[in-house]
Amino acid sequence: MFDVKKYYDVDNLGVALSLLSKEPHLIVIAGGTDVLIKMQHGWNQEETELLGINRIAELKGIRMLDNGDIEIGALCNFNQIEEDATLQENIIPLVEAAASIGGPQIRNVATIGGNICNGVTSADSASTLFAYDAKLKLSTERSERIVPISEFYMGPGKVALESGELLTHIIIPKESYEGYQGRYIKFARRKAMDIATLGVSVNYRIDEASGCFEDLRIGLGVAGPTPLRCIEAEEYARGTKVSEEGIAGIAGKAVLSSHARTSWRASKEYREHLIEELVAEALLSITDGVRGEEDE
Ligand SMILES: Cc1cc2nc3c(=O)[nH]c(=O)nc-3n(C[C@H](O)[C@H](O)[C@H](O)COP(=O)(O)OP(=O)(O)OC[C@H]3O[C@@H](n4cnc5c(N)ncnc54)[C@H](O)[C@@H]3O)c2cc1C
């Protein structure tokens, strides 16, 4: 049981933003799978004041907007993401990332908004959101701004949320997913209930006439203090043949963007080895059909 100083439980976005504006010290709690663990390990509960947002309907649901962008409410949990037909059709790596998180109970309460706002590099949804150039809608009582996810992560556990601000929606632009194929691979020591040792999310579009990558995006988690993109590999990939050799070249370049560190989970060298192996594995697994046709 927790014995906190104050707990507001709101079901309306306007009320939540107004409360946050008046009491910016309130700690936002969505699914609580990170916040409650922190409270259990060290926070002074008697000083803790929470703002529960989990009942706000405006922050739930996944929908395709009129312009084709996909909007995901910050309060969507990972079961909803895994089962959503729009995401299954268009952004498979996010569905794969959702399915890799925790166990069924965690996926039922852990939200994508909390996964991003906790600012950790191992967040399974983050590398895919980086790889699809996701944008974040952030609101205060008086304003709203849209921030590319690449500008949201400031350092380990630090994100660019301003005082009184809530993440309301995640937007995947149409041009980022239309015509792209993708894959997410989580490497962890156990198959379930484990944090990623490395997360790799790739997506690409092929120029059918030449059989080369027209565009390729690679997002990595746990390859640095924040999730990151493999810019050198992405530049190298444009115009590179979709072949085993081409993919090996791309995977080799992916390591250049990494800032991997040694931790108790894995050494820097092992993580770098995983980057090369898993980028290649992810690309080989989804280009099978294309490479097959080429060989015939
Ligand atoms: C047993 C267990 C297993 C786990 N396994 C995984 C795993 O495999 N992969 C993984 O990535 N994570 C894992 N996690 C971590 C956690 O479940 C996820 O990070 C989850 O997505 C956090 O979402 P939440 O809604 O529970 O966040 P909360 O705990 O409610 O909040 C997390 C942080 O985000 C802030 N916040 C939440 N929502 C908003 C918002 N809309 N606007 C502004 N700030 C907000 C909170 O103030 C807090 O700082 C695991 C956790 C546990 C306990």
User: In what helix (H) or strand (E) does residue 73 lie, and over which residues does it extend?
Assistant: strand 70-73
Q: Output the six-digit token pair for 12.
A: 């309306």
Where does the chain have alpha helices with state H?
13-22, 35-40, 78-83, 85-90, 92-99, 104-109, 112-117, 124-131, 174-177, 231-237, 244-254, 268-286, 288-295
pTM, rounded to two decimals: 0.95
Check residue 43 and give its pLDDT.
Answer: 75
CA of 205 to the centre of ligand 1 (A): 32
Hey, which of 101, 159, 195 would you mutate to test ligand 1's pocket, going by the most ligand atoms within 8 Å of its Cβ?
101
- Contact 28 CB / ligand 1 (< 6 Å): yes
Residue pLDDT, tens place only, 100-116? 999 999 999 999 999 99
Q: How confident is the model at residue 294 (pLDDT cuts 50, 70, 90)?
A: low
Phi, psi of 86 (to 5 degrees): -65, -40
- Contact 118 CB / ligand 1 (< 6 Å): yes
CA of 115 to the centre of ligand 1 (A): 4
**Cα angle vertex 81, ends 214, 215, to 5°?**
5
Residue pLDDT, tens place only, 241-291? 999 999 999 999 999 999 888 888 888 898 999 999 999 999 999 998 887
| Protein residue with least CA distance to atom 28, ligand 1 | 32
Residue pLDDT, tens place only, 211-230? 999 999 999 999 999 999 99
| Mean pLDDT over the full length of the chain | 94
Is the pLDDT score of 193 beyond 70?
A: no
